Chains A and B, each alone.
Chain A
């Protein structure tokens, strides 16, 4: 690569990372260039680590960086060398590579597989390479039993650790699938231009994924982020609390203290705030459309439970029920939480679609005493009432009794009020915030939670 080519490659990489919301300044780009100079181009993995060290600022950015790096500094160019292979031969070699856990060989096989089976289309504008098609052809998951048998036959795996074997092989296969996906991205990028693929085909960081469109894997990743996020929020809350406890000057105690210094108030005494014990009530829509959002928020609030004197959680679809016991700390299994809530609580009446009017009315009627002057109420949902009565008096009633009421809406603000959404009506009565991803949620929770 020429010097100009390298600089262009680097700025292209930085541009793609910026498009994914990473904040990288010119200074860091210069550092990255110096790192490239110091490391050279001999070892691609060293280059990857060097660029990551200079360009990235946090752990969460790494999953975006790696695929983008693979596009701008690809392992190779064009199709792999060698003859086109048939399916059985490839599967045999893959099984051998999985048995030996040979990552380099697996990468090589991924390249061959995409080249052999991943291509589709036949005109220059519509063709491409598909990882999905490749994996459907190759079906690496069906190799599990075969790999297990051959590892056991080698005999290195007797005794206790034998039970771990299957999961380990599954992970290796999962790693191979990722290699295939990366390879397909690389081939497409050669055809369509790197910049476009880097912006479109690389998944955003988990905290910027829309709750409403998050897939299973992304939701699982979000669940794992609950504990660290809760810890961060707890320190933020503690800091806010500490600042808030420095109140105004207590004149009486300042003057009394000043008697020892001859009436000169040397040390001002601040009025101490009486510690309030905030209470929290969560009303969560857990119907299919927004359940990812509600589950995540419930887990987050539950992880923060020691910050409050009392947390009560209610779930609804078109009937409402209390689910606080299901969320008890430690016993809650985050994975199956949503299913358990829908199984064990009475949430639906005659039909299965959400009805905010009835649910909010039922809350005001049955659990009205859960809300008092110390209570902050969070309503989580998209406010889509399926054309039924939004029951504004019930909301007004709750808002009057509670200290604050906030509504977190996982829909884009521009969608509010379209179709059957009653968001604008509710927004007139209570403060409604757009809360589309984990990033927005943590910012809102840090700001809105009572202290």
Chain B
């Protein structure tokens, strides 16, 4: 799909995703080695966006499996269409049971769920398994076969192997430790907060109306907040929100009043706001 790391970065940038060297390298390797990509990092740094951008760049269809507590085989992998099977049985009254049985367990009666969808067909696909850590441990076992061999075993049908391997991205917020078996099958990528220069470019890209100087100030204030011991430090998503807020308010420079009034966009806990205000000397107006 890609020839070099620089090409990855350039094409992702065209799709509106500014990748750090680490991200570009890992995406390049995931494509080259044909391995799934496990992305971890704090909320709001663009883990899901990365999968979307890769899909756009590759001209592939994005198949998404959103994990949650209690997601199971029949929602993730496949399910038999019981109603249709019953119809089929009652429609063919006079045939023998053997004929019916081979017929109702054919692909026609199989309802593919995201994981099966991703490995069937010849068109390029990106499989996004979102918030893997929210799913139960049993689901991880289900993923292992797909991630290592790109195949699914349906007892009644046999093994379905991918004719064209999808590009797989798993995301996790690390609210639960994923099993070692799953991690071993993936390339690991940690997306942290971007450095100052990259974040400035991201802000300029997402909020084009913002002036260069203001974007720089915004990024520096956010950087200072991330160094404080807060319960929830602002992420890239919050930086962009804040930049949009400032633009909407028509502020062209930062000052105490503006920052104090809009701190709630960046920080989501009252005690965080108080602490940050104290550290930034906001009360000394």
Contacts and interface: CB of A to CB of B under 8 A. Distances in A.
B180 interface: yes
B220 A161 contact: yes
B5 A160 contact: no
B29 A27 contact: no
B91 interface: no
Given A28-B184, A160-B259, A161-B217, A232 B29 contact: no
A224 B229 contact: yes
Contact of A49 (B22, B40, B254): B22
Contact of B176 (A39, A50, A236): A236
Contacts of B281: 163
Interface in A228-280: 228, 231-232, 235-236, 239
Contact of B175 (A35, A39, A62, A235): A235
B180 A23 contact: yes
A167 interface: yes
B144 interface: no
B187 A54 contact: yes
Contacts of A227: 231
A46 B25 contact: yes
Interface in A28-66: 28, 31, 34-35, 38-39, 43, 45-46, 49-50, 52-54, 56-59, 62
B29 A54 contact: yes
A283 B255 CA distance: 48
Contacts of B229: 223-224, 334-335
A164 B255 contact: no
Given A161-B254, A164-B220, A164-B224, A50 B188 contact: no
A39 B5 contact: yes
A53 B187 contact: yes
A298 B216 CA distance: 40
A163 B280 contact: yes
B21 A45 contact: yes
Contacts of B41: 59
B14 interface: no
B221 A164 contact: yes
Nearest to A236: B176
A46 B255 contact: no
Interface string B14-52: 000000011001101110110100001100000000000
Nearest to B174: A228
A163 B280 CA distance: 7
A171 interface: yes
A57 B188 contact: yes
Interface residues of B, number: 43
B174 A160 contact: no
A137 to B, nearest CB: 28
Interface in B111-152: 136
A161 B221 contact: yes
A105 to B, nearest CB: 16
A49 B21 contact: yes
B188 A160 contact: no
Interface string B214-239: 00110011011001010100000000
B33 A38 contact: yes
B103 interface: no
Nearest to A231: B175
A330 B47 CA distance: 29
A321 to B, nearest CB: 25
Given A54-B29, A164-B220, A335-B229, A59 B187 contact: no
7 closest residue pairs by CB, A with B: A160-B254, A49-B25, A57-B183, A53-B26, A49-B22, A53-B187, A164-B224
21 contacts: A28-B184, A31-B33, A31-B35, A35-B29, A35-B33, A43-B5, A49-B26, A53-B187, A54-B33, A62-B190, A159-B255, A160-B259, A163-B281, A167-B224, A168-B224, A171-B227, A228-B174, A235-B176, A239-B136, A330-B231, A330-B269
Given A31-B187, A159-B253, 8 more contacts: A25-B184, A45-B21, A49-B21, A53-B30, A54-B188, A58-B40, A59-B40, A334-B229
